[in-house]
């Protein structure tokens, strides 16, 4: 059976009941903005061992917009098999933020012109 896609609000309720978030974006994306408490497990190097913190729990996988998790759902489900019960966050971290749920954003350093001219 395929993993279910859920809304940010459903995900938030599930987390309150013990589910875990699994961030499958690349490290440089996570460095810009993240959801506090999410397990970092980039899809480019995802191994079953990366999911041990989610063992015997519901795991909500997310990327930036939901496209990667949809496209690679089979790969995610194969890695999660026997470890956790996978779900997908519809719309990724973008939808989470738009739903008013908290993220931790790292401010970007000022651009070259701002550094040179103080703008």
Identify whether 10 is part of a domain.
yes
The answer, as to whether pTM is greater than 0.75, is: yes
Which residues participate in catalysis according to the annotation? 63
User: CB–CB of 64/91 below 8 Å?
Assistant: no
Identify whether 26 is part of a domain.
yes
Please provide the distance, in angstroms rounded to a whole number, between the alpha carbons at the two ends of the chain: 54
Identify whether 47 is part of a domain.
yes
Domain count, the chain: 1
Q: Which residues contact 74 (CB under 8 A, 6 or more apart)?
A: none
pLDDT, one tens digit per residue, over 63-72 is 999 999 999 9
Report CA 35 to chain centroid distance, whole Å: 7
pLDDT at 53: 93
CATH code, domain with 78 = 3.40.250.10
Structural domain range at position 48 = 4-108
- The Cα 84–Cα 87 span in angstroms is 10
């Amino acid at each position: 059976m395929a993993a279910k896609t859920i809304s940010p609000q459903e995900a938030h309720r599930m987390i309150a009941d013990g589910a875990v978030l699994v961030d499958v974006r690349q490290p440089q994306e996570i460095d810009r903005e993240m959801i506090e408490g999410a397990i970092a497990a980039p899809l480019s190097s995802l191994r079953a061992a990366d999911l041990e913190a989610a063992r015997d729990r519901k795991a909500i996988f997310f990327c930036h917009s939901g496209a990667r998790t949809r496209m690679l759902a089979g790969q995610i489900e194969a890695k999660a098999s026997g470890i956790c019960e996978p779900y997908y966050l519809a719309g990724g971290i973008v939808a989470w933020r738009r739903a008013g749920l908290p993220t931790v954003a790292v401010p970007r350093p000022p651009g070259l012109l701002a550094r040179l001219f103080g703008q």
